[in-house]
Copies of this chain bind each other. A is one copy, B any other.
Amino acid sequence: MDTKKIFKQKFPFWEMLTEYEQNCIVESTLCNNYEKGDLVHGGRTVCTGILYVIKGKLRGYVLSEDGRDMTLNKLMEDSMCIMSGACIIDDLNRNFYIEATENAQILVIDVKYIKKLSEKYNEVKIFFLEIAKDKYQNAFNLMQSMMFIPLEKRLLNKLLEERERQHSDVLSLTHGDIAKDIGSAREVVSRSLNTLQDKNIISLSRGKIGIKNIKELKKLI
């Protein structure tokens, strides 16, 4: 795997750096493997580094003191996460965790050196500030919808989204996954899904949700 090639593609400021600076970044970057379920960032870790997903999938989430879990973002192949490299933006969210939801291969970019570069090059600073701003903005918007949009509506939207994403009326989706994505508890989600099943709008089976009446479903939103 050619780390340099990835950075060249992903960092708009790459060509601006000297060869020495480029090498410093490459040399301080680790390539780690994680198994499904592994914690990639969070808990005691202050700053893991900037993550770049080569293979697999990650999930970023916040965790409350009493263990409630809410998905903030999902990281697919070929995407980058800087919230795990919190110290680059002088910030730290101790409730923020990242786990591998599939076996994953990940580049972990050490941020100490990048931080130094961001003081030298405005372009480096702008690149990371823009990502950070977007991440927080999305997280804020998500939280806002959690607080202000009724659970029922969030659940219906989630079903529509998954239908779009999976290109199917039979969704592979557990109640627990839905709960995390819409910021609720599994029990509450199951109750709502059962109500929809009683109304003949969906059908439930192990790990699957079938959409039987899309017209009625859309009407409820």
Size of the chain A interface, CB-CB below 8 angstroms: 29
Within 8 A of B (CB), among A126-163: 126, 129-130, 132-133, 136-137, 139-141, 143-144, 146-149
Rounded to whole Å, the gap between the CB of A61 and the closest CB of chain B is: 11
Complex Cα–Cα for A95 and B68 (A): 26
Is the CB of A93 closer than 8 A to any CB of chain B?
yes
Is the CB of A62 closer than 8 A to any CB of chain B?
yes
Number of identical monomers bound together in the oligomeric complex: 2
Is the CB of A183 closer than 8 A to any CB of chain B?
yes
B residues near A65, Cβ cutoff 8 Å: 148-149
Complex Cα–Cα for A137 and B134 (A): 10
B residues near A126, Cβ cutoff 8 Å: 122, 125-126, 129
Is the CB of A91 closer than 8 A to any CB of chain B?
yes
Query: Which of B64, B125, B144, B183 is the one whose CB lies under 8 Å from A62?
Result: B144
Q: Which residues of A contact B (CB under 8 A)?
A: 62, 64-65, 68, 70, 89, 91, 93, 95, 122-123, 125-126, 129-130, 132-133, 136-137, 139-141, 143-144, 146-149, 183
Q: Which label, helix, strand, loop or mixed, suits the secondary structure of the A interface?
A: helix
Complex Cα–Cα for A70 and B68 (A): 22
B residues near A89, Cβ cutoff 8 Å: 133
Complex Cα–Cα for A70 and B95 (A): 22
Rounded to whole Å, the gap between the CB of A138 and the closest CB of chain B is: 9
B129 touches A133 (CB 8 A): yes
Complex Cα–Cα for A133 and B123 (A): 16
Rounded to whole Å, the gap between the CB of A95 and the closest CB of chain B is: 7
Q: Would you mind naming 22 contact pairs between A and B with Cβ atoms under 8 Å apart? A: A62-B148, A64-B147, A64-B148, A64-B149, A65-B148, A65-B149, A68-B148, A89-B133, A93-B141, A95-B144, A95-B148, A122-B123, A122-B126, A125-B126, A126-B126, A126-B129, A133-B136, A136-B137, A143-B143, A143-B144, A143-B147, A147-B147
Complex Cα–Cα for A34 and B147 (A): 30
Rounded to whole Å, the gap between the CB of A35 and the closest CB of chain B is: 28
Complex Cα–Cα for A46 and B136 (A): 21
Complex Cα–Cα for A148 and B64 (A): 5
